[in-house]
Structure formats: structure tokens, C-alpha cells
Amino acid sequence: MSRGRLIVVGGGQSGLAAARAGLVNGWEPVLMEAGPEPVGSWPRYYDSLRLFSPRGYSAFPGHPFPGDPDGYPGRDEVVDYLRGYARSLDVEIRTGARVVGVAADGLSFMVELADGSRFEGSALIAASGSFGNPHVPTIPGQRAFGGRVLHVADYRSPEEFSDQRVVVVGAGNSAVQVAHELADHARTSLAVRDRVRFAPQVIAGKDLHWWLKVTRADLLPPSVLARIVTGTPVIGTDKYRKALEAGRPDQRPMFAEFASDGVVWPDGSREQVDAVVFATGYRPHLPYLRSLGVLDEAGMPRHDRGVATGLPGVGFLGLEFQRSFSSNTLRGVHRDADYVVTALAGQPRGAAVA
């Protein structure tokens, strides 16, 4: 007997994981994907992106990742993999279906799409990700700056910045990788508020993810992880560390403000800059859930490990550190999906969750 229709908003890796978990647990999943195909934001990432988890650790349950299991897949490989996985699922996938609102009556959810159509379900999982809401910090003078300002979400390749003066803002994987490749084409600096932290990709001949699995560190809850790890480490070989030490790119403290033609560094010196690339992360963007009361004043989900607090039948997937370090990654999202779908199945309907 079916538990009912499970509406999944977002057809990327999180949405596909939710659909699989829903199917296994007796739901009838329906994916609502705003884009033309169920591959999430992967096609829009920068050209040179490679996973820092090997293929063998990036595969979904029952669906091996093609290629060398110890190799690191690129962006286009991930896109192809997700396409194949979506085809393998026996679920309804609606593309071009942008959800603009959700209403609840205590027993079911009514989803409204941008084209005016409506769709009803017994439970709902928001898995639309955060790529559509890149975070750019507010810096004094930015409106007066005459150069180019962009988030790494809009960056594709370094060639378009050839012979320019570029500052990349951030200290995580994307910031360091983009600054590293830009340094071969442009005069590039990496501007950071804190130091860049590195984690080796291979330890004693084994990939970092082998150690994370063996030690079960990959399963540590965020509250414990925060006491062990400070900041987000850059995972990779020594090439990034050596490049920074060699000044390609050079590393500087975050600039204090923009000038009309560049930036002002903390020591008061001004420098002409052509472009600033912010690699400063993303924020959840869930405006379609506002009427349900499951978001706080800042629009962030109110949840316990991905299960909405205050309203039964609503879950979230793909949130950073939702349950662990790997929550919003290919290798970790299925664990979260199983947890959230199981929790939703056990909830009483028609009453608030304590």
C-alpha cells in the first residue's frame, strides 16, 4: 500500500536521493525540477571543477560511477552520471516545473507552479539547493567600483580574464582552485579573512575519504565536528599549498573597501583591479515555503537534521552540515535522504511537531 505522493522540489543530487528513498519506503515520489533536466546545478559550475572525492566514494546506492574508482570525476562526468541515475529511477520527473508556492491543510500539500498549475501530495521535501542564491558579502564602496564583480557561480574559465588584475575572495576549495588557475592567465591575489587550511587528499597511500569512512568521522554530527575542525579545509595535493607559497596566486588579508577603480587594502594602500571574484558560498533559497512557517526570519529552514520543526510532512535535503560534514555531497546525501524520508513516514499528520 502506498504512503501517498511525495513531492520533491528540485531534481539534482538531493532530489534524486529523496526520490530513491521515497520509493524504497513506499511513497510515490514526483520530482519537480525547474530546469530542463534532472541534473541540478552541475552544468553551471566552472569548467575545470573536479570532485575531491573519488568515483568509488561518490556513487549512489546500486549505481556505480563509471571509470576508475580511485579517480576524481570532472563536472561533465557528474552531469552524465546524474542523467543516467535519473533514467534508472522508476519515478515521475517533471522538468520545467518551477515551484512558486506551497499551501498546507494539515493533511496534504498543494504545490503551485510558475505556469499556474497545481499539484497535491501527502508530504514534501525541499531539495532545491542553494546554487541559485550565491552569497556576496556587503563591502563598502562596491556600487562605485567600475570593474567587474561576480560570484564563482558565474565563473566558467580563466581565459576571459587574461592579462587582467583579479582578486579572488575566499579560503575554501573553490576559491583556491579558481585563484590557482587564474594565476596562469592573470595577475591574481587570494583575499582571505582567515588563513587557508589544507587537508591532504592522500594519507599513507589511502584517499582521505577512505580514512573518513574507516574512522566514521564522516558521520560525526556538526556539533561535534565544530569542536574538532576549524574552518573549511582545502582538500587536494600539495600543488595548491606550493602555489600559494610561491605567490601564484599571492595571498593577502581581505581588502577593506572598494575604490572606483580597484580596492583598498587594510594598510590603506589602493590598487587598481579589473575584477573581483567572490567564492563565498551559497545560502538556502526557499521562498516557496514561506507560507508554511518552516523558515525563520532570515529565510533559513527551521529543522532538526533535515526534518522541519513545527509542521509534519516537510523535510529538507542538501543543506550544508545538515547531519554531517558530507550532508550536501554526492557521497553523503543518500544517508540524509533515508533519515528524512523515514522520519516523515513516522510522523502523525494534522498536528504540530514539538
Same domain, 189 and 153: yes
Q: How far apart are CA 223 and CA 323, in angstroms?
A: 9
Same domain, 188 and 255: yes
Percent of the chain with pLDDT over 70: 96
Query: For 247-271, how does the pLDDT look when each residue is reduced to its tens digit (9 = 90+)?
Result: 999 999 999 999 999 999 999 999 9
Please check whether residue 127 lies inside any domain of the structure.
Answer: yes
Same domain, 16 and 105: yes
Percent of the chain with pLDDT over 90: 76
Same domain, 264 and 333: no
Please check whether residue 211 lies inside any domain of the structure.
Answer: no
Query: For 276-288, how does the pLDDT look when each residue is reduced to its tens digit (9 = 90+)?
Result: 999 999 999 999 9
Query: For 49-63, how does the pLDDT look when each residue is reduced to its tens digit (9 = 90+)?
Result: 999 899 999 999 999
The predicted model gives 165-170 an average pLDDT of 98
The predicted model gives 67-92 an average pLDDT of 96
Same domain, 146 and 72: no
Q: How far apart are CA 67 and CA 83, in angstroms?
A: 16
**Residue 230, pLDDT score:** 64
Same domain, 52 and 173: no
Same domain, 184 and 252: yes
Same domain, 263 and 311: no
Number of domains present in the structure of the chain: 2
**Residue 115, pLDDT score:** 95
Q: Fill in the amino acid letter for 252.
A: R
Q: Binning pLDDT at 50, 70 and 90, where does residue 231 land?
A: low
The predicted model gives 117-122 an average pLDDT of 95
Q: What is the mean pLDDT of the chain?
A: 92
For the cut 60, the answer to whether the pLDDT of residue 350 exceeds it is no
**Residue 305, pLDDT score:** 94
Kindly report the number of other CB atoms within 10 A of residue 139's CB atom: 18
Please check whether residue 83 lies inside any domain of the structure.
Answer: yes
CATH number of the domain encompassing residue 78: 3.50.50.60
For the cut 90, the answer to whether the pLDDT of residue 104 exceeds it is yes
Same domain, 162 and 44: no
Please check whether residue 317 lies inside any domain of the structure.
Answer: yes
**Residue 56, pLDDT score:** 93
224's grid cell: 561535534
Top-confidence residue, 326 or 222: 326
Please check whether residue 213 lies inside any domain of the structure.
Answer: no
Top-confidence residue, 327 or 85: 85
Q: Binning pLDDT at 50, 70 and 90, where does residue 297 land?
A: very high
Among 222, 247, 278, where does a domain finish? 278
Same domain, 67 and 91: yes
Please check whether residue 117 lies inside any domain of the structure.
Answer: yes
Domain extent, residue 159, equals 142-197+232-278
Please check whether residue 352 lies inside any domain of the structure.
Answer: no
By mean pLDDT, which of 6-15, 29-38, 117-126, 192-201 is the weakest?
192-201
By mean pLDDT, which of 29-33, 135-139, 262-266, 322-326 is the weakest?
322-326
Please check whether residue 315 lies inside any domain of the structure.
Answer: yes
Same domain, 15 and 79: yes
Q: Binning pLDDT at 50, 70 and 90, where does residue 112 land?
A: very high
Bridge partners (DSSP) of residue 165 are 187
Q: Binning pLDDT at 50, 70 and 90, where does residue 352 land?
A: very low
150's grid cell: 561576480
